[in-house]
Amino acid sequence: MSEPEHAFGLRTRALHAGAPPDPATGARALPIHFSSSFVFDSTEHAAELFALRTYGNIYSRIGNPTVSAFEERIANLEGGLGAVAAASGLAAQLTAVLCSAQAGDHLVASASLYGGTVTQFTVTLKRMGIACTLVNGDDPQAFAAAMLPNTRLAFTETIGNPQGNVADIAAIAAVAHAHGVPLVVDNTLASPVLCRPLEHGADIVVHSATKFLCGHGTALGGAIVESGKFPWGAGKHPLLSQPSPGYHDMNFAETFGEYAFLMRARTEILRDTGACLSPMNAWLIMQGLETLPLRMRAHVENARIVAEFLAKREEVAWVKYAELEGSPYRALAKTYLSRGAGAVFTFGLRGGRAAGRAFIDNLTLWSHLANVGDAKSLVIHPASTTHQQLNDDELRACGVTPEMVRLSVGLEDPEDLLWDLDRALKRAADAPEEAPAPRCDISRRPVAAS
Amino acid sequence: MILHTVSERRELLARSKTVAMVGASANAVRPSYFVFSYLRTKGRLDVTPINPTLNAIDGVKAYPSLAAYAAERGAPDIVDVFRKPAEALQTTREAIAVGAKAIWFQYGVINEEAIALADAAGLDVIVDRCIKVESARFDGGLTIGGMNSGIISSRRASKFSPND
């Protein structure tokens, strides 16, 4: 009788999964394999590789040893069967969509997603013949009501960016499964430290690894992680259950069983879109992942301090942090985000658009930029930046109010973060109200940056 | 004994040399062909097809039955089963009769009677797993494919190098 299996903890796995010592050299740190291509042992070996009958590296667009180390690590942390990395979060979710849907098909997604995702789904995918219905992400029955016979997947974010809404993952997954489709969850703002959607019934997790996974605002990257539990061969996804002309009529579901989705995502979608992750970026993300559990804990500690500080300020009209008393998402956060409701949230200034602008202009420690999930604290005022073309009514229509400020709370000393916020709040309160922005065409879309 | 853990599977593969694959196919898109081809070209295991309708697969002689295999080659270390669950019981009886040390039921080949029979006969039993995937878990293949091998180790891999 052999010893019982030891279950390693998340901090250990964040350091080790996917990156044992390099078998060729013994290097303890992950080597960066800057090689476009990899030699075959023989013509027979090459044939086996191209037929997908054996594992190995061919060309870095399809797979690269440094990138696959990242893939295994994020798959391990999310508790998935495997992962496919991509050049960015948007490339990753496009890979997930194209692996399960084609022209003539349909998706159902929460309406309160990151704006870049909404644009990808409702503009770019629409041009490719894939329709998307946006529904109230807080209502699982709204997902059910939008399901069509040609619906291929449902999509939500664990924590909505920037609204901060927390998805009822298990309830939405149950609705999706009742309609024979998988639930895809963007887990970027929670990271697997705070929430592991696959444990709650989701089938696929997508990440912008650019954010907390990388954690230092350096490299762009993305990944999809799949559970291996969704029945792709059940008939609802002919791209996986019918012979594929993209791979000499192989039936992925029959040939690869639980690995069908990941194999097709890599060997057909990544192969043909070319949206692969650079090994340099994979390495930077792997450096970040080593400290992900420690960083997320510290991000959450600081976020709680900042949220509570802001909630008490009279210059502040509201704070949308799911852990705060009065948040409509408090119960869901207890269920899905018991280790913390993340470190990205919004608040509103009583002084409206002008106060928002003045607040930002008076900050000296918080970085004013369009990203989240950096070790450094970040801030943006959507009404004067990403959404500046819209007037107040138009802003409200897309869920962004003129007074709204988004924070991504970093790892600085919290006293310093509060010192900077305090000064800027006081100065913003003195700012004169400005005239409303001139009306412009609603069809002009805001710039989609994080 | 029914083997449940990763380390039990690793140890079984490490101590085994011969695999008799019942139901191996020569059809290049069948899962059993993928597994056969992988073990033949990549692994350190000596794999033989058991299929009465074939003479050979990729130059490897096929035997019509486990008995025919055992008569020439002796008892296999592992009988790998690619059969319908209902037919797995008969395969199990034959595996026990030829003295196989282990029986490996591939994905979906679940027959409780067969499992209990093999266990009672003292064979190591693996259920609803793929011998290719488990080999790849330990030889680095899953890692190369971006799959979660579950392996956490600071030992330099050598025992299960893909080029063994």
Task: Give percent above pLDDT 90 in chain A.
Answer: 78
- Is 70 exceeded by the pLDDT of residue B153? yes
Contact between residue A264 and residue A241 where contact means Cβ atoms under 8 Å apart: no
| Predicted local distance difference test score (pLDDT) of residue A443 | 44
Query: Do A209 and A316 lie in a common domain?
Result: no
Contact between residue A113 and residue A135 where contact means Cβ atoms under 8 Å apart: no
pLDDT in tens, B127-138: 999 999 999 988
Cα B38 to Cα B45: distance, rounded to the nearest angstrom: 10
Chain A nearest-CA residue for B140: A55
Inter-chain touch A254–B140, beta carbons under 8 Å: no
- Is 80 exceeded by the pLDDT of residue A396? no
Please name the amino acid found at residue A83. A
Task: Give percent above pLDDT 70 in chain A.
Answer: 95
**Per-residue CA distances from B89 to A89, B9, B65, B86, B94 (Å):** 48, 22, 14, 7, 9
Q: What CATH number is associated with residue A112?
A: 3.40.640.10
The residue among A45, A52, A53, A256 with the most chain B CBs within 10 A of its CB, best to mutate, is: A53
Inter-chain touch A16–B142, beta carbons under 8 Å: no
- Is 70 exceeded by the pLDDT of residue A344? yes
Q: Establish whether the linkage from the previous residue to A432 is cis, with ω within 30° of 0.
A: no
Task: Give percent above pLDDT 90 in chain B.
Answer: 79
| Predicted local distance difference test score (pLDDT) of residue A414 | 98
Cα A303 to Cα A410: distance, rounded to the nearest angstrom: 8
Q: Which of A151-160, A314-323, B21-30 has the lowest mean pLDDT?
A: B21-30
Please tell me which of the candidates B28, B38, B133 has its beta carbon nearest to residue A54. Answer: B38
Superfamily, domain B6-144: NAD(P)-binding Rossmann-like Domain (3.40.50.720)
- Is 80 exceeded by the pLDDT of residue B157? no
Closest Cα to residue A30, out of A286, A222, A214?
Answer: A286
- Domains: count for chain A: 2
Going by pLDDT thresholds of 50, 70 and 90, the confidence category of residue A67 is: very high
Cα A342 to Cα A322: distance, rounded to the nearest angstrom: 9
Query: Do A86 and A233 lie in a common domain?
Result: yes
Query: Do A282 and A299 lie in a common domain?
Result: no
Give, for A347, the enclosing helix (H) or strand (E). Answer: strand A344-349
pLDDT in tens, B72-129: 999 999 999 999 999 999 999 999 999 999 999 998 899 999 999 999 999 999 999 9
| Predicted local distance difference test score (pLDDT) of residue B108 | 87
Host domain of residue A41: 10-25+33-288
Q: Which of A102-106, B50-54, B153-157 has the lowest mean pLDDT?
A: B153-157
Q: For tokens 């997954």, what's the residue? A: A173
- Is 90 exceeded by the pLDDT of residue A379? yes
| Predicted local distance difference test score (pLDDT) of residue A38 | 96
Give, for A73, the enclosing helix (H) or strand (E). Answer: helix A65-78
Q: Secondary structure of chain B: what % helix, strand, coil (to 5)? A: 40, 20, 45
A104: left (phi over 0), alpha (psi -120 to 50) or beta: left
The minimum CA-CA distance between A195 and chain B, rounded to whole Å, is 18
Helix axes B66-73 and B88-97, enclosed angle (nearest 10): 20
Query: Do A16 and A128 lie in a common domain?
Result: yes
Which of A259, A288, A317 is the endpoint of a domain? Answer: A288
Query: Do A214 and A78 lie in a common domain?
Result: yes
pLDDT in tens, A397-438: 667 888 999 999 999 999 999 999 999 999 998 877 665 554
Inter-chain touch B157–A82, beta carbons under 8 Å: no
The minimum CA-CA distance between B11 and chain A, rounded to whole Å, is 9
Q: What CATH number is associated with residue A346?
A: 3.90.1150.10
Does A445 fall in a domain?
A: no
Query: Do A352 and A243 lie in a common domain?
Result: no
Does A4 fall in a domain?
A: no
DSSP A396-418: HHTT--TTEEEEE--SS-HHHHH
Cα A330 to Cα A332: distance, rounded to the nearest angstrom: 6
Cα B66 to Cα B97: distance, rounded to the nearest angstrom: 9
Inter-chain touch B41–A250, beta carbons under 8 Å: no
Of B156 and A210, the one with more pLDDT: A210
Q: Which of A48-52, A279-283, B60-64 has the lowest mean pLDDT?
A: A48-52
Inter-chain touch B147–A12, beta carbons under 8 Å: no
Q: For tokens 């309708």, what's the residue? A: B53
- What are the boundaries of each domain within chain B? 6-144
Does A441 fall in a domain?
A: no
Inter-chain touch B144–A63, beta carbons under 8 Å: yes
Instruction: Please count the residues of chain B.
Output: 164
Please tell me which of the candidates A44, A82, A257 has its beta carbon nearest to residue B148. Answer: A82
| Predicted local distance difference test score (pLDDT) of residue B164 | 36
3-state class (DSSP) for residue A319: strand
Average pLDDT, chain A: 92
Give, for A154, the enclosing helix (H) or strand (E). Answer: strand A151-157
- Is 70 exceeded by the pLDDT of residue B150? yes
DSSP B132-149: HHHHHHHHTHHHHTTB--
pTM of the model: 0.92
Inter-chain touch B146–A44, beta carbons under 8 Å: no
Contact between residue A184 and residue A155 where contact means Cβ atoms under 8 Å apart: yes
The residue among A72, A77, A256 with the most chain B CBs within 10 A of its CB, best to mutate, is: A72
| Predicted local distance difference test score (pLDDT) of residue A289 | 98
Cα A77 to Cα A10: distance, rounded to the nearest angstrom: 7
Of A248 and A13, the one with more pLDDT: A13
| Predicted local distance difference test score (pLDDT) of residue A441 | 45
Please tell me which of the candidates A2, A83, A250 has its beta carbon nearest to residue B29. Answer: A250
Query: Do A342 and A397 lie in a common domain?
Result: yes
Query: Do A344 and A416 lie in a common domain?
Result: yes
Going by pLDDT thresholds of 50, 70 and 90, the confidence category of residue B43 is: confident
Going by pLDDT thresholds of 50, 70 and 90, the confidence category of residue A383 is: confident
Contact between residue A63 and residue A69 where contact means Cβ atoms under 8 Å apart: no
Cα A306 to Cα A418: distance, rounded to the nearest angstrom: 7
Inter-chain touch A75–B142, beta carbons under 8 Å: no
Inter-chain touch B38–A65, beta carbons under 8 Å: no
The minimum CA-CA distance between B90 and chain A, rounded to whole Å, is 25
Chain B nearest-CA residue for A248: B29
Does A415 fall in a domain?
A: yes
**Per-residue CA distances from B12 to A160, A283, A301, A323, A342 (Å):** 47, 34, 47, 49, 44
| Predicted local distance difference test score (pLDDT) of residue B94 | 98
Inter-chain touch A54–B41, beta carbons under 8 Å: yes
3-state class (DSSP) for residue A379: strand
Tokens encoding B44: 């350190």
Query: Do A421 and A330 lie in a common domain?
Result: yes
Query: Do A236 and A298 lie in a common domain?
Result: no
Residue spans of alpha helices (H) in chain B:
6-15, 31-41, 66-73, 88-97, 112-120, 131-139, 141-144
The minimum CA-CA distance between A76 and chain B, rounded to whole Å, is 6
| Predicted local distance difference test score (pLDDT) of residue B113 | 97
| Predicted local distance difference test score (pLDDT) of residue A249 | 82
Inter-chain touch B146–A13, beta carbons under 8 Å: no
Contacts of A60 in chain B (CB under 8 A): none
